[in-house]
Structure 1
Amino acid sequence: MGGNVIRIANQKYRYFKSRDIDGKVKTVTIKRDALGDIYLYFSCETNENEVLTRTGESVGFDFGLKIFLTGSERKNIISPLFFKQNAKLIVKANRNLSRKQKASNNRQKARLNLARLHKKVTNMRRDFHWKTAQYLTGKYALISIENLNLKAMQKRFGRKISDLGFADFVNKLKYETQKAGSNVVEVGNFFPSSQLCSNCGYQNKELKELRIREWTCPKCGKHHDRDLNAAINIKKEGERIFFSRK
């Protein structure tokens, strides 16, 4: 239907378009969230211009729990832990929900209040990811990151990994690089980025504990910050992988 109105099961709904529909609509997916809000996802066939690979700066990033991305150029990106920011409100809303009588109107109101808080956290995280991805792809032509075993990390560090949402961020980063002509290279998770001396290449196999944040190379004497050193090594390995494909 026209005029930003769609009919679903003989019911008309007026919707807001977050962006203009470009191309021929092939499919429409309808989803309803926990708040009852309905979302329309249009899959369209378009004629897109080829985006040429651009030249420019290269950077490597090490993903961390305290610092979201440690950059090889000494420019770090801190992630607000959005769930942690709102944890007290969420705990309070959970307790309030548990006190309400089942099937009552008050329980329904409490359930919606909790759902709003979770949606707020999701939207804050998504906005941070998109803006960060757009900034990085606008600044760098080649971005090297680690291909992390996030399931194993989640078992070890729990909710904090979910709060950072690194996998979702990487997907957004790849999407933005396709539009900007930049490139993302994922370095294998078995690459010893933290153990290698970025100055001379010596591998310190004793450096396995995450609590060790600084170390000095026994071969060349270079003193390293663990995350910065890893980011520099990821950049070098990413460049090696990228140019070996040429």
Structure 2
Amino acid sequence: MRSNREKYKPWIIFGSGFLTLLLMELFPVDGGGVSLIFVISIPVLIGLSIILALIYNWRAKKIEMRWKRNLLFSFSVTLLLVLTFSYFPCSESDSPCPCKVVYKSSEVLVNYRNITYDDLFVEKTKANYPLIISARKKFEKKLPEKIYYVTYDSLPSYSSFKKFAIYVLNDSIKSSNKNLLAEQLPNNNIKYTEVYKSDTISFLGTPNGFARLENEYNGYNDNGYGYITWTKTLPNYEVQIRKEVENDIYENYLFYKFLYWIM
């Protein structure tokens, strides 16, 4: 005789087809062409879940042995789970798969005591999100008011040679780059200088961070949503300074909101 639990199993199979939609809310995904995979995978998985749920509901009524019904149920759910994770768009460059994100996050939690203040300023890639979130939680009472990410790009090779951060903490300018010198100028601006690979790199800022200094930066872009870039072209390097929205990680992705909460 069939138990009352049997009536829920077709709905569980059907619900498994919507797992991709849940994963999209939980984890970051590459934009552009990669995310177009969802246009195909989501309808296919939902359609397949409907078919499998109907098949189970039909066959389960004719199968008397419980282990056979359980086998059919397990096969249906497992198939949907395997297909969901197989077709979830991932990339090794900057969009780890959900399983890797969970594994990386668990590693960070295990080594939580080893997280340093400079981990707040690691390169803001999706692969580093668990570390950044953990650092923001650990130092939540000493978070900078502003963070500017600085990159030295080589003009001949168009590759990034050095990345660091300049930040404002308690109305004081600081940097994660120990070799960067900051000099207060008579006009109240701040001149940053570093001797890097036999070249002297310098650029200007203000006591409150960076502003639109037209005579200093040949490129400036403000998208109106908190993302601002300054660009200065030198003979051998291009200095790029970026300001981003710092709390966007755990505001946009439920997994990182949960990770921040449990720490």
Q: TM-score, normalised by structure 1?
A: 0.28
Asked which structure has the greater RCO (Cα within 8 Å, sep 6+), the reply is 1
Q: Please, what TM-score do these two structures have when normalized by structure 2?
A: 0.26
Higher-Rg structure is 2
